[in-house]
């Protein structure tokens, strides 16, 4: 009888093995992603020198802000640092005024999203140093994005993947270095795919310590939800600062 119980327990553990494996996220080539959802932020107003968004920004079936409700925000010099686990259900929390997110356009093929750090918009030492959280309408099995980096010094990005209930799926550390010569589209593409194709990635948060900060665009993911027109979604705290120049954009133009 005792041996029978052991055999039953062993079989039960083996049957659970696929679920253990399903807890991982694989880093894959961006080009290998098969999702047809694409977020370029071109459906949201940007500014030639930067547009500040103090409210939740929505584009292409996802929404963006500083962090998720329940995450702790601290600072490392000019940079945001996120820790802790969001509360469920997953929801976005904006930063204080001039410390949420900014949208850059006018120089690149697509708009670029950048978090705004504690120094505050429109300071050169703020845009790109802040954290960014993205919340999807539908749970995802795969996603990817382009990270812009300006100076060749580089740094690291901490990417946290969360389920809809706020639980952490996995944390992945990336290192992005822009090799010389720096160009307008300098940076790296990253792809992420859930083990077994499980669709439970509801949100992602990113913070970094890159010397000049980072920008994010061309987010590829599973088929997006149908969402209202962006003009009806982005209504809170929008302020364009025509005289603000993004430091890492400016440095991309240096000879």
Instruction: Fill in the DSSP letter of residue 96.
Output: S
Residue 226 carries which DSSP code?
P
| Domain presence at residue 51 | yes
Tell whether 101 is covered by a domain: yes
Residue 3 lies in a domain: no
Asked whether residue 10 is assigned to any structural domain, the reply reads no
One DSSP character per residue, 11-51 reads HHHHHHHHHHHTT-EEEE-GGG----EEE-STTS--BTT-E
pLDDT at position 182 is 55
3-state DSSP assignment of residue 155:
strand
> What pLDDT, on a 0 to 100 scale, did the predictor assign at position 152?
61
71 belongs to a structural domain: yes
Question: According to the model, what pLDDT value does residue 107 have?
Answer: 56
Element holding 71 (H helix, E strand): none
pLDDT in the model for residue 240: 35
The total number of structural domains in the chain stands at 1
Neighbours of 223 (CB within 10 A): 10
Any domain includes 8 = no
How do 187-194 and 25-28 pair as beta strands? antiparallel
Domain presence at residue 173? yes
Q: Are 133 and 169 in contact (CB under 8 A)?
A: no
Q: Give the sign of the dihedral formed by CA 13, CA 15, CA 19, CA 24.
A: positive
| pLDDT at residue 124, rounded to an integer | 85
Please choose, from the candidates 121, 66, 114, 78, the residue with its C-alpha nearest in 3D space to the C-alpha of residue 243. Answer: 121
Q: Is residue 4 part of a domain?
A: no
* Per-residue model confidence (pLDDT) at position 176: 79
Per-residue pLDDT tens digits of the chain, which is 255 residues long: 444 444 333 433 333 333 334 469 999 999 999 999 999 998 887 766 679 999 999 998 899 999 999 999 999 999 999 999 999 999 999 999 999 999 987 455 678 999 999 999 999 899 999 999 999 999 999 999 999 876 666 789 999 999 999 999 999 999 877 666 555 457 789 999 999 999 999 999 999 998 889 999 999 999 765 544 444 344 333 333 333 334 445 543 344
Range of the domain at 151: 25-252
Three-class SS of residue 126? coil
């Amino acid at each position: 009888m005792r041996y029978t119980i052991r055999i039953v327990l062993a079989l039960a553990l083996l049957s659970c093995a696929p679920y253990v494996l399903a807890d991982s996220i694989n880093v894959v080539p961006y080009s290998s992603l098969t999702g047809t959802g694409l977020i370029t932020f071109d459906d949201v107003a940007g500014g030639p020198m930067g547009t500040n968004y103090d409210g939740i920004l929505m584009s292409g079936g996802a929404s963006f802000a500083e962090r998720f409700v329940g995450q702790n925000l601290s600072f490392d010099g000019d940079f945001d640092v996120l820790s802790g686990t969001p509360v469920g259900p997953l929801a976005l929390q904006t930063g204080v005024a001039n410390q949420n997110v900014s949208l850059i356009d006018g120089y690149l093929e697509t708009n670029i999203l950048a978090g705004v750090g504690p120094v505050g918009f429109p300071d050169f030492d703020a845009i790109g140093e802040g954290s960014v959280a993205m919340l999807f309408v539908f749970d995802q099995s795969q996603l990817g994005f382009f990270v812009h980096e300006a100076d060749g010094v580089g740094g690291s990005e901490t990417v946290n993947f969360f389920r809809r209930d706020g639980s952490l799926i996995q944390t992945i550390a990336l290192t992005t270095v822009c090799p010389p010569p720096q160009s307008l589209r300098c940076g790296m593409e990253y792809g992420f795919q859930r083990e077994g194709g499980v669709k439970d990635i509801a949100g992602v948060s990113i913070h970094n310590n890159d010397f000049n900060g980072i920008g994010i665009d061309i987010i590829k993911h599973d088929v997006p939800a149908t969402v209202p027109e962006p003009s009806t979604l982005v209504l809170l705290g929008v302020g364009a600062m025509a005289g603000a120049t993004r430091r890492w954009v400016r440095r991309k133009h240096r000879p």
